[in-house]
Chains A and B, each alone.
Chain A
Amino acid sequence: MKRLPWFAWSGIFHSAWVYAIGTPVQLDPPLGLPPLSIPAANPLTREKIDLGRRLFMDRRLSHNNTMSCAMCHVPEQGFTSHELGTAIGMQGRSLRRNSPTLYNIGYHLSLFHEGRELHLEDQVWGPLLTKVEMDMPSIGYVVEKVRLLDEYKGQFEAAFGGPVSAERIGHALASFQRTLISGNSRFDRWFYGDDKSALNLREQKGFEIFMGKGRCATCHWVDEKTALFTDHKFHNTGLGWERSMFPERNNYKVQLAPGIFVQVMGALLKSFEPPQADVGRYEVTLDTKDRWAYKTPMLRNVAITRPYMHDGSLSTLEDVVEFYDKGGIDNENKSPLLMPLKLDSEEKTALVAFMNSLTGDNLEALTRDARSAPVTLPVLSKDAADLYMDAVLAAP
């Protein structure tokens, strides 16, 4: 894996100096993961991580106090949501894409499915300010609201040596998210740890297919000493193209209750919200070659981060293998790396078995750690903007 020169890292909110406040934290990468690059302008400290955890879990970070980061990135559900294909935001507004897992998010070189954001420190402002997500009215509103909440009194001073600011909110949240590292899976112990009994024969066969006939490693890279299972690039598999070009189907298989399914005619649903347009990476680059291309996801912990694909349209790993076995969906921009695989039933089973071996050994600990922060705390007696105006108008 190439490393970016972190000294070149910059963002709109970032100061140039290195904070010398707080208790330094060294993240030791578990087996199978490379060292995590930490931006020089935002070194990890215990105080920032604790503050970021609190912000991450706090539902008051949304305009109407109902949504936190953790409501879509649920700790118990692999820091994604098992219950939704595509996410739901403020007042039930529809998002276009699946909530990505945050495991190992600190290793990503770009953020969001189409890679529109570059740094964790800046990424937070997308969900916070987007109307369909947390719907905060403005950056200043967020800063003022956090400043007014009792539970944050003194916390920013302890972490940063100064009061709440937009930059510090981003730094704290980024610091916490960088701690969501998970490795030392059975695969790691087998491949990098020389524990030959860590994978059974079927799983080993699955790895062989992953690296060879299955062509998975073409995009989900495995290096000699570590593996992030991504090339950090954007590919058109055809799924996004099909969703855009044929957004409605004639009928849908719908589960009414466990084991009870019906075929519902698409015409019955015409009175409801139509699918939203989504052209993937093209929305960032405006380059037609990037139409319907989405970032290669990391596969670590893939067994517990369902549903799959950028739109959460595939429920199981078996569905994913079937999709790629067919070579994706043909379209003008489909990645040339995709082609029919002609895997037999045993090969598909082995491939899924291998992917099930990628689960890290610390997931319960990460969940417990996240849940150590409170979720619901007293809301402000008045709106933050009103309290601000009351204060400035009362000032001499």
Chain B
Amino acid sequence: MIQCKNRFSRKILATALSAIVASGMTALPATSLADETSCSPFTPLIKGQEDLVYVWTLGVEGVGDGSDKLVTVDVNPKSRHYGKVIDSLSVGGRNEAHHVGLSDDRRFLWGGGLDSSHIFIFDIYSDPAKPKLVKIIKDFVEKSGGIVGPHTFYATPGRMIITGLSNNKDHGGTTAHVIYNNKGEHVKTVHIPTAELNGVKGDGYNYDVAINPKKNAMLSTSFTGWNNYMMDLGKMVKDPEAMKHFGNTSVMWDFKTMKPLKIFNTPGAPLEARWNWGKGQDFAVTTAALTSKVWVYMQDNKGEWQAHDVATIGNPADIPLPVDISMTADGKGMWINTFMDGSSRYWDFSDPLWPKEMFKKKIGSQVNMVSQSYDGKRVYYTSSLLGNWDKKGQDDEQFLKMYHWDGKDLKLGFEIDFYKEKLGRAHHMKFQARDMKSLKPLHAEAEGLDNLRVVLNAASAQ
């Protein structure tokens, strides 16, 4: 049912990947590949004006139909519906809607529910302005061998890597990566290490993944289990037992074999994983939610990955809670949102070992996700972190806001009040183009790799 048949086909995607395999990781030149915010490098990009923003939205009891929904917003300034909600597709129930991810051909959008562990697959190419729900995977826990809480959806050729956050034995944080194919079928479950590797004991926790194909490297991070991510944030902070159960490690993997290469001690829930695609850079970044640390991952002169504690965001005693981050296309800047003070901060990453906070602006009473356009001129924000981590009462603002960024200041373009529109809690965003032909090819394709032998199965069906 869910197939890739456009020009960004499995073949091309596989070709990019096979280059890694065929060339022993050296054939791909350094790229300046970037995502709009956090797209997989195997997903074609929108390098011009995005037409639509999809917002995966948590249903709230007493707000509209109370159901989780995929909300479509027209964001093309030339449209008469600019800045307006043009579609809302309820999926039924409150699943703890959280993250969404684009398929390798950008024709489908996968969204997960951290509570129900249901996965919803939307067709976003037949009519991008009106997504269709084409499949619901309800047996993720059963098929994955007990993994709960599908979080990140990260496309690889013909496959979707889904990070789990918890498990069905104790709702704690020991969990796995779960690999599905594009048909929505379970392929493999890869557990996060709990044994010692390189002198660091794995804690089995998981959160996000990001892949650097050129380096055959995949970084995974760690958060917490169902018990904590479903709990009221204030109650959790006051519960000493709960606070003992956060992930404190991140893992660098051999992407091709899905074997862990090295475990890093990165205390305090390292969350979003991003690669810097700046030419000749090849470093990855994460921020730790609880300790407010910025970690940078680089290879040393022997080729071994090392994690560097490079900065602290705000005052950790105030628990600013750094959440989503977004690297710029040139890799020289990064947006960091801090949930508790509702602020977005721009950090200069020209020197990744000495990044500096250059700009800070309050977006709302709370802010979580940030997504920027490829050129970095438009920055989108949503408010919701988790259903029970969001603030209560007047501080529970729920919005999508778009700002124009001129390198010095953020100027509000439009905003949508998700409560006023009876939608719910605005969470993860993904962009889409109305004309799928306008999508830009993978950078790997532009590098002339079509003549390399396709070994898709060898690489991605592991």
Residues of A within 8 A of B (CB): 59, 64-66, 71, 74, 76-77, 81-86, 88, 91-92, 94, 252-258, 260, 262-264, 268-269, 271-273, 275, 306-307, 312, 315, 375-379
Complex: A268 Cα to B365 Cα, angstroms: 13
Complex: A106 Cα to B395 Cα, angstroms: 47
Set A254, A307, A376: member contacting B319, Cβ < 8 A: A254
* Residue picked from A64, A65, A271, most chain B C-beta under 10 Å: A271
Contact status B241-A71, CB under 8 Å: no
| Per-position 1/0 for B364-404, Cβ under 8 A of A | 01000000000000000000000110011101100000000
B7-15, B139-147, B443-451 - interface stretch? B139-147
Minimum distance in angstroms from B51 CB to a CB of chain A? 34
Residues of B within 8 A of A (CB): 93-94, 96, 115-117, 138-139, 141-142, 146, 148, 168-172, 225-235, 237-246, 248, 267-268, 288, 290-291, 316-319, 340, 365, 387-388, 391-393, 395-396
Set B227, B235, B268, B365: member contacting A81, Cβ < 8 A: B227
Contact status B170-A257, CB under 8 Å: no
**B141 partner residues in chain A, CB cutoff 8 A:** 376
Minimum distance in angstroms from B266 CB to a CB of chain A? 9
Known: A74-B169, A81-B227, A377-B142. A65 touches B241 (CB 8 A): no
Contact status A71-B316, CB under 8 Å: no
**A377 partner residues in chain B, CB cutoff 8 A:** 142
Contact status A263-B239, CB under 8 Å: no
Set B172, B234, B316: member contacting A272, Cβ < 8 A: B234
Contact status A82-B168, CB under 8 Å: no
Contact status B234-A269, CB under 8 Å: yes
Known: A71-B170, A271-B393, A377-B142. A66 touches B235 (CB 8 A): no
Complex: A272 Cα to B138 Cα, angstroms: 32
Contact status A88-B115, CB under 8 Å: no
Minimum distance in angstroms from A251 CB to a CB of chain B? 10
Contact status B239-A86, CB under 8 Å: yes
Minimum distance in angstroms from A267 CB to a CB of chain B? 11
Contact status B170-A273, CB under 8 Å: no
Contact status B392-A252, CB under 8 Å: no
Contact status A94-B170, CB under 8 Å: no
Contact status B170-A256, CB under 8 Å: no
Contact status A66-B391, CB under 8 Å: no
Known: A76-B170, A86-B239, A94-B231. A264 touches B395 (CB 8 A): no
New A-B pairs, 16, CB < 8 Å, besides A92-B115, A262-B316, A269-B237: A76-B169, A85-B241, A86-B235, A88-B227, A88-B230, A92-B230, A254-B243, A256-B267, A257-B288, A257-B291, A258-B248, A264-B318, A307-B241, A315-B240, A375-B146, A376-B146
Contact status A59-B168, CB under 8 Å: yes
Minimum distance in angstroms from A10 CB to a CB of chain B? 36
**B244 partner residues in chain A, CB cutoff 8 A:** 83, 255, 258
**B288 partner residues in chain A, CB cutoff 8 A:** 257
Contact status B267-A258, CB under 8 Å: yes
